[in-house]
Each structure stands twice: as C-alpha cells, then as structure tokens.
Amino acid sequence: MKASPEAQLRLLELADLDTELGRLDHRRRTLPENAELAQLGERAAKVRDAITIADTDLADLDRELSRAEKDVEQVRVRIEKDNKQLDAGRVSNARELESLQSEVASLRKRQDDLEDIVLELMERREAAQALRDGGATEAEAVGAEEAAVEARRAAAVTEIDEQQAKADATRAATVEVIPADLLALYDKIRASAGGRAAAELRRGQCGGCREALSTAELNEVRRAAPDEVVRHEECRRILVRTAESGL
Ligand SMILES: [Zn+2]
C-alpha cells in the first residue's frame, strides 16, 4: 500500500488519540466511585432491613404492652371493688370475708406479676427503639455518604466527557486528512490486534511491540520508498518512519 509520509505521520496522531480514548473509556468503566456506591447500596439495604425488623418488633411490643396494661387495669379495678366491699363492712359472714380477703391477696400477686411483665416489655421496647434510632442515624449517614460519592462520580464523569469530546473532535479532524485505504488498514489492524495499530519506528525499535528490528528487517525498511506503507513482521503494526527511526 502507498501513502504519503505526511499521511503516515498522521496515523501516529490517530494512534495516540485512540490510546487516549481507550484510557478514558477504561477510566469511565473503572471509576472507584462505582465500587463505593455499590458497597454503600449494600449497606443501605442492610440498614433498611434492620429498620423494618425494629419497626415490626416495636409494633409487636406496643400491642403486648397495651394488652398487659389493660390486664393491670382490670386487676386494679377488681381490687378496688373488693376493697370497697371490705371497707363498707357489708360482708359479715366469716367464710365470705376470708374468701374475699384471699381473693384480694391473689389479685395483688397477679397485679405484681403483671406489672413486672409491663416493666420487662417497656425495657424491651426501649431496646427496640434504640435499635430503630440507631438504624435511622446510620441510614442518614449512608445517605449523606452516597450523595457525596454521587457528586464525586458526576464530577469525574463530566471531566471524562469533556476530555472525550475533545479527543473525538481532534480524531474526526485527523481522520479527514488520512486516505481511506490507509485508514481502513489501520482500523483492520486495530480490530484484530487491539491497542495501537500504527507505531513509530524509533532507533530501530518498533514503538508498538518494543521489539528491535533485525539488521535484515532494517535494511528492508531502508530500501522501501518513503510512500510505501511498512509493517512490522512481528506484530503486524504499521511502522511509521520519522527522523528518529535510526535508518
Ligand atoms: Zn512491532
């Protein structure tokens, strides 16, 4: 293939731009903020689960508490009623009196037990509320951290977008001045080999694969006309000759 030395030099610019675009693409895909946000998302989900469990516990405990408090109240009313009867001195029968007194005694015992239950439930409720509050605080902290990381990621993406737009524009202008057949060859090599498709021959070394060319290979390059498109046998890249080629 033939192409002017100027067009061949343009391939080096194109290869630099494609390397830059590849770097930007890689940076976009591997932004550390992506991993951070994934981790924060997991943390947020765990916190949400903990809050749901605490809320369920709180609702259960509230129900149990109101039941136990109602029981205490019922017993209290019953004791009051019995005491009124005793105080009024309306019960004169000794056996009835004894039975009423023993009922009051057992009711008091029941009241004590129920009050213990209420106290225990209140303690459990307090612990559940503390867990719930801790969860809410943590959720808020995770949310704030997420917002900060999102902002950092957005700034990084904006920066990458700007650099990419610049490189894209330069690439479009560079491609304009490269002959179609040379560009097609460049694209073909890039698709099959990956990485740089054109490299500078610098001091006898291929700038693509970094291999030094043998004397025979160098002689062959020397013999090639300036508008001959030379390729490195080893890596198949287009070798672009410059004043630094060491020919
Ligand atoms: Zn090479």
- Distance from the CA of 29 to the center of ligand 1, in angstroms? 28
Q: What is the pLDDT of residues 99-124, one digit of tens each?
A: 999 999 999 999 999 999 999 999 99
Run of H or E including 69: helix 32-88
Q: List the one residue out of 4, 30, 14, 24 whose CA is nearest residue 186.
A: 14
- Distance from the CA of 180 to the center of ligand 1, in angstroms? 23
- Distance from the CA of 232 to the center of ligand 1, in angstroms? 5
CA separation for the pair 189, 50 (Å, rounded): 55
Question: Among 77-81, 86-90, 204-208, whose mean pLDDT is lowest?
Answer: 86-90
Q: What is the pLDDT of residues 173-226, one digit of tens each?
A: 999 999 999 999 999 999 987 789 999 999 999 999 999 999 999 999 999 999
**Residues 6 or more apart whose Cβ sits within 8 Å of residue 15:** 196, 197, 198, 199
CA separation for the pair 58, 48 (Å, rounded): 15
- Distance from the CA of 198 to the center of ligand 1, in angstroms? 9
CA separation for the pair 198, 1 (Å, rounded): 14
Q: What is the pLDDT of residues 130-178, one digit of tens each?
A: 999 999 999 999 999 999 999 999 999 999 999 999 999 999 999 999 9
- Distance from the CA of 205 to the center of ligand 1, in angstroms? 8
CB of 221 within 8 A of CB of 213?
A: yes
Q: Which pLDDT does position 92 carry in this prediction?
A: 82
Q: List the one residue out of 169, 143, 147 whose CA is nearest residue 20.
A: 169
**pLDDT, mean over the chain:** 96
Taking the chain, what is the end-to-end CA distance rounded to the nearest angstrom?
21
CB of 3 within 8 A of CB of 232?
A: no
For the cut 80, the answer to whether the pLDDT of residue 60 exceeds it is yes
Q: Which pLDDT does position 31 carry in this prediction?
A: 98
CB of 20 within 8 A of CB of 164?
A: no
What proportion of the chain, given as a percentage, has pLDDT over 90? 94
DSSP state, 194? Answer: -
DSSP, collapsed to helix, strand or coil, labels residue 199 as strand
For the cut 90, the answer to whether the pLDDT of residue 238 exceeds it is yes
